[in-house]
Amino acid sequence: MKKHFLFVALVLILGACRTAKVSTSKDEVAITFLHLNDVYEISPLDNGKIGGMARVATVRQNLLHENPNTITVLSGDFLSPSVTGTLRYEGKGIKGRQMVDVMNAVGVDWVCFGNHEFDLDEKDLQERINESKFNWLNSNALEKINGKLEPFGKVVNGTKMPFPKTQIYTFKNAKGEEVKMGMFGIVLPSNPKDYVWYDDFFEVARKTYNELKPQCDFVVALTHINRVDDIALAGMVPELKLIMGGHDHDNMIEKIGDVIMAKADANAKTAYIHRVVYNKATGKASVKSELKKINDQIPDNPEAAMVVKKWEDIADASFKAIGINKNEVITDLKEPLDGHESTVRNQQALMGSMIAKAMTAATPDATDCTFFNGGSIRIDDVVSGKMTQLDVLRVLPFGGKVIEVKMRGRLLEQILETGLKNKGSGGYLQWDRITYEAAKNEWYINGKLLDVNQEYKVVTSDFLLTGKERNLDFFTKTNPDIISVTDTFPEGDVRNDIRKAVIAYLKKN
């Protein structure tokens, strides 16, 4: 108990009794948030033009100089997925270790869970948590341990310290009056794992806010939920001042009543800077939000850059060890392939079409059509000109098998209709040999009108057949409209790894 008390006390001391430089009156306290979300890349993208965590570290240092009451937050999704995370180092998988190391160097203060943190198994997730120097805020996810539900936590000196459900910061204005700010963090239950139990995030958010409200002057939230749910949350808890969101990968800001909800672009291409000013005399808080581009106009922070370089060198060595020549050019693209999530999750894209065609080409038997989830494309960038093996790995860091499923037409129609409804999310489908006529709401498979009573040979990804994609929980091996599944292949068959199928296709075309 003493160790637990000391840990909690240390966390509170770190956030307590700060006096701001930036203030317009003696009654006011200014707090600045540097807000990131969904960061999988430690290095700049687009030939070094955008992103880069060493640049984020510079922005943070500048904000701290402007206002010592600066808090850097990352609203979920950073441990997975990434190419580096799939590699091995010191005899075991990296699995987000590079991200934690770089985030420690940047000086991140708080994170909440994202759904992709639970891509890791329980042991690896615990190791990443233990390596982190930042704090974790978690209000609605619990760990299943020996049949019991317990808070996730960090092991410190052999003792597991549970993550707080809430955090209260104490600041002082120029008069010496205390201003208390409460925070909580929630995550959506989109990644079911045996070791995780999710409480209803709406109910938890409302309950947690009601607990914080009597203790605090105002409350902010870190969330990793869908945009529509953030908007609903703002309506449910209209006195929240600021929702710093994640999960969506494109920058956005909305005002719902008096609540500001914002999300930055994924992979630190942008960050939000929220400047909050609370007036003790009036009891009101104002929020001014600035979308900051993280680009090559911002110099690297030297200390963070050293850590980034260390992991870039480790990744290079790991590629060589597994026989991957990351710099090998496999094709010279005639036109750019847009892999932005705003594209592949909303419309049929050239990159999605290319991958689907590669999946079709990898299957020797006659195939009626191919589809896969656009969310498996994770590069969130444009690939143009000379395309390398590394580009393919960045596009599809999850890998996975290319499988064959024989199914009835009524199931195929249901899947395709669901894919359309998933527009805007990772469950939107990219395809080959499929045409949709929206005016007639008709599907054509390999040039012929889809027949719900016909049997079709379909190529897809092994992930989709788990039923874990959004709204596609019915697509599993036990579905009565599935006739057969072929998902075991000889060693060396490119169907064992979709990335190898794409590389082989691009080398031939």
461, 373 Cβ separation under 8 angstroms: yes
Nearest to 217 by CA among 159, 273, 271, 281: 281
Q: Which residues of 305-339 are buried (b: 16+ CB within 10 A; e: fewer)?
A: bebbeebeebbeebbeeeebebeeebbeeeeebbb
pLDDT at 15: 44
What local confidence, expressed as pLDDT, does residue 11 receive?
Answer: 44
Q: Is 467 left (phi over 0), alpha (psi -120 to 50) or beta?
A: left
Cα 440 from Cα 57, distance rounded (Å): 53
pLDDT tens-digit readout, 432-460:
999 999 999 999 999 999 999 999 999 99
- Per-residue confidence (pLDDT) for residue 19, from 0 to 100: 46
Query: Exposed e or buried b for every residue in 347-376, given b needs 16+ CB within 10 A?
Result: ebbbbbebbbbbbbbbbeeebbbbbbbbbb
Q: How many Cα atoms are found within 13 Å in the side-chain-facing hemisphere of 233?
A: 36
- Strand partners for 221: 184, 243
Domains along the sequence of the chain with CATH: 2-306 (3.60.21.10), 324-508 (3.90.780.10)
Helix (H) or strand (E) holding 392: helix 389-395
Residue 350 structure tokens? 């050239």
Whether the predicted pLDDT of 13 surpasses 60:
no
Token pair of 29, please? Answer: 């306290």
Query: What is the pLDDT confidence band of residue 397, given thresholds at 50, 70 and 90?
Result: confident
Query: Could you tell me the two tokens for 480?
Result: 């009565």
Give the pLDDT score at 95.
96
What DSSP character marks residue 45?
Answer: B
Q: What is the pLDDT of residue 24?
A: 62
List, in order, residues 6 or more apart from 492 with CB less than 8 Å away: none
Can you give the C-alpha Rg of the chain in angstroms?
Answer: 24
Strands 153-156 and 159-162: antiparallel
The mean per-residue pLDDT over the stretch 291-311 comes to 98
pLDDT > 70 fraction of the chain, expressed in percent and rounded? 95
pLDDT of residue 8: 41
Token code pair at residue 233: 């949350």
Q: What average pLDDT does the chain have?
A: 93
Token reading at 219: 């409350």
Instruction: Give pLDDT tens digits for 19-43.
Output: 445 556 899 999 999 999 999 999 9
Q: How far apart are CA 15 and CA 151, in angstroms?
A: 22
pLDDT tens digits for 44-102?
A: 987 789 999 999 999 999 999 999 999 999 999 999 989 899 888 999 999 999 999 99
Q: What confidence score (pLDDT) does residue 7 get?
A: 42
The HSE-up count of residue 374 (CA atoms within 13 Å, CB side) is 30
Residue 247 has pLDDT above 70, yes or no: yes
Strands 166-172 and 159-162: unpaired
Q: What's the CA angle centered on 323, arms 501 and 117, to 5 degrees?
A: 70
pLDDT at 120 over 80: yes
Q: What is the pLDDT of residue 382?
A: 82
Q: pLDDT tens digits, residue range 92-111? A: 999 999 999 999 999 999 99
Tell me the mean pLDDT in the region 112-117: 96
Mean pLDDT on 209-227: 97
Q: How many CB atoms lie within 10 A of CB 456?
A: 20
Of 294, 462, 485, give the one whose Cα is nearest residue 407.
485
390 pLDDT above the threshold of 70: yes
pLDDT of residue 320: 81
Mean pLDDT, residues 285-295 taken together: 98
- φ/ψ of residue 302, rounded to 5: -60, -45
Provide the terminal-to-terminal Cα distance of the chain, rounded to the nearest Å: 65
DSSP string, 395-418: H-TT---EEEEEEEHHHHHHHHHH
Question: Is residue 5's pLDDT more than 50?
Answer: no
For residue 76, give Cα distances in angstroms to 204, 336, 496.
Answer: 17, 30, 30
Give the dihedral of Cα atoms 428, 429, 435, 436; nearest 10 deg. Answer: -20
- The CA-atom distances, in angstroms, between 71 and each of 63, 95, 107, 134, 330 are 9, 26, 9, 11, 44
- What is the structure's pLDDT at 21? 54
Of 135, 186, 183, the residue nearest 161 (C-alpha): 135
Task: Please say if the pLDDT value at position 350 is more than 60.
Answer: yes
Q: What is the pLDDT of residue 23?
A: 53
pLDDT at 18: 52
Cβ(88)–Cβ(317) below 8 Å: no
Q: Residue 324's pLDDT is what? A: 77
Query: pLDDT at residue 375 above 50?
Result: yes
Return the structure tokens found at 459.
């190529």
Q: How far apart are CA 168 and CA 153, in angstroms?
A: 18
Q: Per residue, what are the HEC states of 283-321?
A: CEEEEEEEEEECECCCCCCHHHHHHHHHHHHHHHHHHHH
Q: How far apart are CA 281 and CA 284, in angstroms?
A: 8
